[in-house]
Structures are given as structure tokens and as C-alpha cells.
Amino acid sequence: MLINMPNALNQYVNRMNDPLKAFRFLIEVDGDAVGAFTQFSGIQMEVQTIQARSGNDDRGVQEYIPVLTSFSPVTLTKGVIGSNEFLNWIFSAAASRDTGPTGNRLYRTINVIALDDAGRRGVIWSLKDAMPIRYELSAMDSSRSEVLTESVTFAIQGMERNVSPLSFLLQTMEG
């Protein structure tokens, strides 16, 4: 029986049945849920500046002028990827035995959506021009009863943080 993994993952996360109840970060690409993770880290923006005096400043006070902006890689850990297409995109960024990276769309916008206890959407981080730079599969041990997890790291060139004011207000009033 063939199952559409993104839709199956969407339904599974929406029901918030164990063990996915701990997976509080849903990953969406082009409107489809492609994975769910328990940890999300690395969001960091840094603006490098130079100091200079404006030409019309009689006081001689230096001001900060933004020059370069950099974003640290972000990592999603202890999760599952439920889309073969998404996983193939991750692997397409790596060189194979005979060629360099094969992906024709190496940069994509990835939405990381925080879910509350009831599975409702909260803050959404849009990772702009994300490119996969690391993939890791947890150690597999057939003698133990552990959930198989994956981790993925993305280099990003920008980000946005959005929250629906109405849903945020309703959640804070309920909580």
C-alpha cells in the first residue's frame, strides 16, 4: 500500500499521538509538512559594522554603519523526515562519486513551525535560501527499543519570524 508521506505526516502530527507529541517543530516546504523535530537551534544573526562620522556631524561623534550581515547555520535534531522528496533534496547538495552537487534548486525557503501542547501552530520561522549542509542518522542498535531519529543542518541567507496575533492571543488566554 502506497502512502503519501507528507499528507500522512500532516495527519499524524495534527493528531499529536505519542511519540510525536514531543516533536514540537514541524517542518514545511511549499505548504507540505516534510518532517517533525524535538529540537531547533542555531538561530543567530550578526551585523558587522564600521564606525564613521557623518560628513555633516559637527560634534565629531562616530555612528555605527551596517556593512555585512551573516546568519549562523540552524540545526533540527531528534526528529523524523517523512518525505522522500525532501530527503532527496538534502542529499542532492552533496557530491556523488562521479559528480558534484546534483540539485537544481539547492536553496529553498523552509518554515519551522512551533506547535503547542494541543498541536496548534504558533511562531513560524521562515529560513530563507536554506541549503542542507549536514545530515545525521542516529545510531541504530537492534538490541534496544529506541526511536530512530534524524538531524539536519542548513546554511541560511536570511530569516523571518512570524506569529499570528490572534492565535497568539487565544493561546495566552487559554494557557
Q: Cell numbers of 32, please?
A: 507540505
Banded model confidence at residue 15, pLDDT cuts 50, 70, 90: very low
Q: What integer best gives the mean pLDDT of the chain?
A: 83
**What would the pLDDT profile of 38-96 be if each residue is shown by its tens digit?**
999 999 999 999 999 877 878 888 889 999 999 999 999 999 998 999 999 999 998 88
Cα gap 18→152, rounded to integer Å: 22
The torsion of the CA quartet 11, 12, 14, 15, rounded to 10 degrees, works out to: 110
Strands (E), 43-157: 45-53, 62-71, 74-81, 108-115, 121-137, 150-155
Strands 150-155 and 121-137: antiparallel
Q: Residue 20 has what DSSP assignment? A: G
Strand partners, 160: 126
